[in-house]
Amino acid sequence: MTVLRAVAIGAGHYLPERVVENAEFEARIETSDEWIRSRSGIERRHFAAEDEKTSDLAIAAAKMALENAGVDATSIDALIVATATPDQTFPSTATRVQTAIGMSGGFAFDIQAVCAGFIYGLSNANALIVSGQARRVLLIGAETFSRIMDWEDRTTSVLFGDGAGALVLEAQEGEGEPEDRGVLATNIYSDGQYNDLLYVDGGVSTTQTTGVLKMQGREVFRHAVQKLAEAGEESLEKAGLSVEDVTWVVPHQANLRIIKATAQRIGIPMEKIVVTVQDHGNTSAASIPLALSVANQAGRFHEGDVLLMEAIGGGLAWGAATLRW
């Protein structure tokens, strides 16, 4: 049976020029390079310049992805930006990206699921393509989390960074089998009872301020490992594949301890895990597409590879996706 599949045809990313090593935090708060590395695996991260907006990062990543795909922006039918740090309350950051890259038609919108934003965006992009509403979708994850940090909180301020990643998806015919290229399965979840585990203490209708990030790290860790492992296993089952079929896992790059614990729980060796958290920190919705593009640029992915992606963020919101490259 012939079906439409959302096939990845190009990837791109952008990192701000400023690199912040762990040592920079030692002069500001009570911490150390050893403390940060041992608890998170993070060694450095990138921070946006004062005049750099989330849209600027997204635009740069989008242009790289389009070039990598060999397609023009005018051929894009839908543009999705996953972000928790938009340029403005409204309109969407996606519309700013749309005009900046020369996408003259179609439609653009934002998705807000924090660190799970790219998985939510991929689920939506896949649905647009499978339903025939879009032939090509440009999906971007972009964040400037440095703008919502409490710099006095040593448990959170050292964890996050800024960046953007992008993926171009195109409708191609498949046979409806696990051997097809493209998105084979997506599954997304949320549970609002855990809202207070990871949130920003500001908002338009509450404080009329941006606020800063607050997190109960130990509780987030506990939920993350269980929920990510279960979501990953469910995604593979939905795709008609097993753990043994996975070529690469591209997880949300939040914390190396979470990545290792989840991999162990699923039963996938670390040799199959794409890890970039040491160089980028937690870039929220940009995390997975940034890691995808970096790995792709390094020549690690080959046509036919099975990629398992999973992420969890504030909400709590989480999900997973299985894609054959």
Cα–Cα dist 22/163, whole Å: 17
Cα–Cα dist 319/228, whole Å: 7
Catalytic residue ranges = 115, 252, 282
Helix (H) or strand (E) holding 108: strand 107-111
Q: Is the dihedral of CA 282, 319, 205, 215 positive or negative?
A: negative
Alpha helices in 173-216 (DSSP H): none
63: phi then psi, degrees, rounded to nearest 5: -65, -40
The residue among 61, 13, 99, 51 whose CA lies nearest residue 291 is 13
* Alpha carbon distances (Å) from 210 to 88, 107, 199, 201, 204: 11, 27, 12, 8, 8
